[in-house]
Structure 1
Amino acid sequence: MRCFQHPEVEAVGTCKSCNKGVCRECAVDVGNGIACRNRCEERVKAVNDLVDRNLVMYAKVEQVYSRNAIIGVLAGSAIVVFAIVYFRSHRAASFFFLLLGAICFLWAGFMYSSGK
């Protein structure tokens, strides 16, 4: 492969932004990749920063889903207990609360499985 700007020179790599071949004179090491000097440096730095932030957010997502699953189980349990206590005097209404509790448990299961 040849350098895009200097076709007579062999390329030492490709730009992480534009994917063009770059020689030693044109290449700039921006940390996690090579960029075209004075053309693609800022964009490659921005892409590297974006990837780093996404890795951090990805690690936090599982915690958020797990926390939501716990909240769903607690809410579902409270609603089911309320329905059982309420069942003695209002049979028809308690079925609504049992259904609502079941929905909370399903939501908790969905949250838990989404975080894995």
Structure 2
Amino acid sequence: MKCFYDPSQDAVGLCRSCLRAVSQEHLVDLGKGLACKGRCETDVSKIIMSMETYHQSIESNRRSTAKLENALKVQTKVGYGNSVLACVLGAMFVIAGKASSEIAFMFYLGLALFVYGTWRAMWITAYRKAAASD
């Protein structure tokens, strides 16, 4: 391949901005890319900066995703704990409501708590299975 600016010379690389073949005399090496001397240096610098910014944002997204996954694991454990608490309190209220006719409303309150705790535990289990399959 010959140099775009001097066809008598062999090209040593491509400009990262205009993609022209350039020889050693007509190029500037910017570290992460070659540029046409005096023509594409600022464009290639901007391209390199945008690529570095892109890679930094990808790494930041990976860290954020890891933190989110950890938070979801903690939330799931807390959710199971709340479900168990609701079921235990519900069972206690059902027993107390059955034992005394004066506080019969506790039976219904306990029943509602128990049903909620059971539903919540089933929902968390289904959510974990769905998250694991993704």
TM-score (norm 1): 0.74
Residue 122 of structure 2 aligns to which amino acid in structure 1?
L
Query: 1:52 maps to which residue?
Result: 52
In the TM superposition, what whole-angstrom CA distance separates every residue of 1:37-63 from its partner, at most 9, and x where no partner exists? 233212211121122223333333332
- Relative to structure 1, is the Cα distance of residues 59 and 12 closer, same or farther in structure 2, using a 3 angstrom cutoff? same
**One-letter amino acid of the counterpart of residue 14, structure 1:** L
Deviation at 1:107, TM superposition (A): 7.2
* Partner of residue 125, structure 2: 102
Q: Which protein, 1 or 2, shows the higher relative CO under an 8 Å CA cutoff with sep ≥ 6?
A: 1
The within-5 A match list for 1:1-116 is: 1-87=1-87, 88=90, 89=110, 90-102=113-125, 105-106=128-129, 109=132
CA RMSD across the alignment: 2.5
| CA-to-aligned-CA distance 1:53-83 (integer Å, 9 cap, x gap) | 2333333333222211121111111121111
Provide the C-alpha distance between the structure 2 equivalents of 1:35 and 1:21, rounded to a whole number of angstroms.
10
Q: Which runs of 5+ in 2 are unaligned?
A: 91-109
Which sections of structure 1, spanning at least 5 residues, go unmatched? none
Contact 1:77–1:101 (CA under 8 A) maintained in structure 2? no
Name the % identity: 21
Query: Comparing both structures, which one devotes a greater share of its residues to helix?
Result: 2
Aligned residues: 111
